[in-house]
Amino acid sequence: MPKINIGKLNINFESEGSGYPIVFIHGHGSSLHFFDGLASYLKRDYTVYRYDQRGYGLTDKPLKPPYSTELWAEDLYWFFKKLGIKKAILGGHSMSGRILVTFTVSHPEMVEGLISLNCTWFGSNPKVSAELERDVSKVERDGMSAAVEWSPMVNAVPKSIPSIAELERGELLKNDPKSYALAMRAVAKDFGGDSREELLKALECPTLILIGDRDSAPLEGAIKMYKGIKNSRLAVIPFSGHCSILERPEISKAVIKDFVNEIKSSTPK
């Protein structure tokens, strides 16, 4: 896979297909491979970019500065600049839904539409925030096996599809414990911090908010996004946990494809 350099950070990425650009970024503990199936489906009509975020996959894992939603959003900006992407549809899973909103409010001219997958909003999960802070030390001490115990990428998958949980377990164990712990602290801060509803009110682009009906991400967080973003729609995927595009791929792909096709049809030639 190719890499690009932004500052001192080497980012591992993949691009496929042709046509209007769509950029996908993965959630905590995952990698660009989370979107393999969706990229294969969309590349027939679009150019699909995906990359390993700072601290994950084959991208560099610096331990300074502290990770944050704002830092990951800045990385996304430089990813656009380095590849010459002027404007795109953005999709993000889990924590990346917050990254995309943060990015879009700062750079609205670069975003045609947003796809938030299985994300909860800032301040929507204070109980889990405390649990994450507690478990950071376990990961630092015992390694990635400690993260498997609570990760929604593994434990929120319906028991009827154990192959997905096993796949995500394997991806999770590939992570570096030190950078993973830094990212955990950033996610914990988001969950327990201010609700930052001003970001939602500032969004103007079309936004799809997709969440599973059995998701570990609280539904009220997704509803808060839906109510706060004026040009948004909410899709609740039935019999789905935290990885809807893997657990219920056909219905999730159809919802996403309809959304991006609608945006494409309204985009000036």
| pLDDT (0 to 100) of residue 42 | 98
Exposure on the CB side of residue 96, measured as CA atoms within 13 A: 28
Go through the chain and tell me how many residues it has. Answer: 269
How many other C-beta atoms lie within 10 A of the C-beta of residue 173?
14
Q: What is the mean pLDDT of residues 15-43?
A: 97
* CATH code for the domain of 88: 3.40.50.1820
Total structural domains within the chain? 1
Considering the domain boundaries, does residue 58 fall inside one? Answer: yes
Considering the domain boundaries, does residue 110 fall inside one? Answer: yes
Alpha helix (H) residue ranges in the chain: 36-42, 69-83, 95-106, 126-142, 145-148, 152-155, 162-173, 177-192, 197-202, 219-228, 244-247, 249-266
C-alpha 77/C-alpha 75 separation (Å) is: 5
The pLDDT of residue 268 is above 80: no
| pLDDT (0 to 100) of residue 15 | 98
Exposure on the CB side of residue 220, measured as CA atoms within 13 A: 7
Return the percentage of the chain with pLDDT > 90, whole number.
Answer: 85
Q: How far is CA 213 from CA 13, 115, 198, 239, in A?
A: 31, 17, 27, 6
Q: What secondary structure letter does DSSP report for 64?
A: -
| pLDDT (0 to 100) of residue 132 | 87
Burial class, 121, CB count within 10 angstroms (exposed 0-12 / middle 13-18 / buried 19+): buried
Considering the domain boundaries, does residue 148 fall inside one? Answer: no
Beta 207-212 vs 111-117: how paired, if at all?
parallel
Q: What secondary structure letter does DSSP report for 149?
A: T
Burial class, 266, CB count within 10 angstroms (exposed 0-12 / middle 13-18 / buried 19+): exposed
| pLDDT (0 to 100) of residue 269 | 60
The vertex-193 CA angle with 187 and 198, nearest 5°, equals 105
The pLDDT of residue 195 is above 90: yes
Residue 215 in 3-state DSSP?
A: coil
Q: What is the mean pLDDT of residues 72-87?
A: 98
Q: What is the mean pLDDT of residues 150-176?
A: 90
pLDDT digit string, tens, across residues 205-234: 999 999 999 999 989 999 999 999 999 999
Cα 43–chain centre separation: 19
Considering the domain boundaries, does residue 143 fall inside one? Answer: no
Considering the domain boundaries, does residue 223 fall inside one? Answer: yes
C-alpha 38/C-alpha 43 separation (Å) is: 8
| pLDDT (0 to 100) of residue 157 | 87
Q: What is the mean pLDDT of residues 120-142?
A: 89
H-run or E-run covering 193: none
Considering the domain boundaries, does residue 173 fall inside one? Answer: no
Return the percentage of the chain with pLDDT > 70, whole number.
Answer: 99
Considering the domain boundaries, does residue 206 fall inside one? Answer: yes
The pLDDT of residue 149 is above 70: yes
| pLDDT (0 to 100) of residue 89 | 98
Considering the domain boundaries, does residue 192 fall inside one? Answer: no
Q: What secondary structure letter does DSSP report for 237?
A: E
The pLDDT of residue 193 is above 90: no
Name the pLDDT band for 63 (thresholds 50, 70, 90): very high
Return the axis-axis angle of helices 177-192 and 126-142, rounded to nearest 10°.
Answer: 170
pTM of the model: 0.95
Indicate the average pLDDT of the chain. 95
Is 149:251 a contact under the CB 8 Å cutoff? Answer: no
| pLDDT (0 to 100) of residue 160 | 86
Expressed as residue numbers, the domain containing 89 is 3-124+197-266
